Amino acid sequence: MTRLLYILLLGFLLAVPAAQVEAGNPDRQGEGGAPQLLMNPWARSAGLHSMTTSSVFGVEAMRINIAGLGRINKTQFMASHAIYLEGTGVSMNAFGMAQKLGKGGALGVSIMALDFGDIPVTTNEQPEGTGATFSPRFFNIGLGYSYTFENRVSVGVLFRNVSESIADLSGSALGIDAGVQYVTGAHDNFKFGISLRNIGGRMQYKGEGLSFNAAIPLGSGSYDLASNRRAASFELPSMLNIGLSYDFLFGSKGRLTAVGNFTSNAFAQDQIGGGIEFAFNEMFMVRGGYRLDFGATSQDTPANSLYSGLCGGVTLDVPIKKEDPNGTRFGIDYGYRAANIFGGTHNVSIRLNL
């Protein structure tokens, strides 16, 4: 019990200063970078606007709350594809694996990449295009570890390298996530979670793309000298999530879970929202939620962030062998998030639990 109190105290000490330092600041909107760190490729949690800080588990936890990484049977593999803001031509692809280690530990790795398609190259002299194309490369890889104490409290930390580049320009940085989850109740039906995400060094672009020829005067003439511009550095989009959930059980097969979540963004408005998920026999699940923004401080601040509003999704999770429902299982998830621009985001994920 003493260990539990120490862990919960650590979680709150982690959250309180973070809430003060990282509190939502819409006046700084656009000053942060690496927006890919705010994108969620996993369909199950995306179907609830990523508001599952308290209950997320396995591979998906590495995107929301690393503390939930180890809440799997043994091994989990996941792959996902998402159409990001339908109409933009941008897609997300992700793969992840989680593995239990020993009695309470778990190790996981996740990879996500953005596909922008082929973008025409334009110049001042040829604004309609030169005939060539390019495609930015946005990629990040995360390595996380979590530990669960007596199936009640779990803590975790994740290190993520984020990289963005084109042919002659690139930037990279290291971000750190940390989180805690607490589970209690007669049937482990009350869950509470805190996660602090994307804390790390500043990111700066470097490369030949910043080079230019400068005319250096010499006597009555001049000569060209290659020079370099210095790009400004920027911070990662850090955030604090605080969430809770409660499972209402109906016999041995029905479950209705209510979730609530608060997000404090360092470079955008704060967000609050909730949702529900209904599960039958833990094989078929349907979910939906709503999230809204608050904290605008000026007339020029956008009224809403990209994903304020409705979301929803479904899951089918079945055992490979009927006679062993707790053994190997295969799942497929779909999630949709309405967006304030374009056509919203569609996520599809497949999952294998061993």
12-63 per-position pLDDT tens digit? 444 444 444 444 556 666 678 888 999 999 999 999 999 999 999 999 999 9
Report how far residue 187's alpha carbon sits from residue 164's, in angstroms, rounded to the nearest whole number.
Answer: 45
**pLDDT at residue 329, rounded to an integer:** 95
Supply 17's token pair: 């200063």
Supply 144's token pair: 């996380």
Report how far residue 55's alpha carbon sits from residue 68's, in angstroms, rounded to the nearest whole number.
Answer: 7
Report how far residue 267's alpha carbon sits from residue 27's, in angstroms, rounded to the nearest whole number.
Answer: 8
Burial of 188 (0-12, 13-18, 19+ CB in 10 A): exposed
Q: Cα-atom radius of gyration of the chain, to the nearest Å? A: 23
Residues 6+ apart with CB under 8 A from 5: none
**What residues form DSSP beta bridges with 107?**
99, 145
User: What three-state secondary structure class fits 70?
Assistant: helix
In angstroms, what CA-CA distances link 150 with 50, 104, 146, 157, 354?
26, 8, 13, 18, 22
The residue ranges of the chain whose pLDDT is under 50 are 1-2, 4-23, 297-298
CA 347 to chain centroid = 13
**pLDDT at residue 343, rounded to an integer:** 87
- The pairing of strands 190-200 and 239-250 is antiparallel
Domain limits of the chain?
2-199+239-353
CATH architecture assigned to 2-199+239-353: Beta Barrel (2.40)
User: What three-state secondary structure class fits 277?
Assistant: strand
**pLDDT at residue 38, rounded to an integer:** 92
Report how far residue 172's alpha carbon sits from residue 140's, in angstroms, rounded to the nearest whole number.
Answer: 9
**pLDDT at residue 17, rounded to an integer:** 45
Report how far residue 54's alpha carbon sits from residue 244's, in angstroms, rounded to the nearest whole number.
Answer: 5
179-212 per-position pLDDT tens digit? 999 999 989 999 999 999 999 888 999 988 888 7
Burial of 229 (0-12, 13-18, 19+ CB in 10 A): exposed
**pLDDT at residue 323, rounded to an integer:** 80
Q: The pTM is what?
A: 0.87
Residue with tokens 């605080």: 242
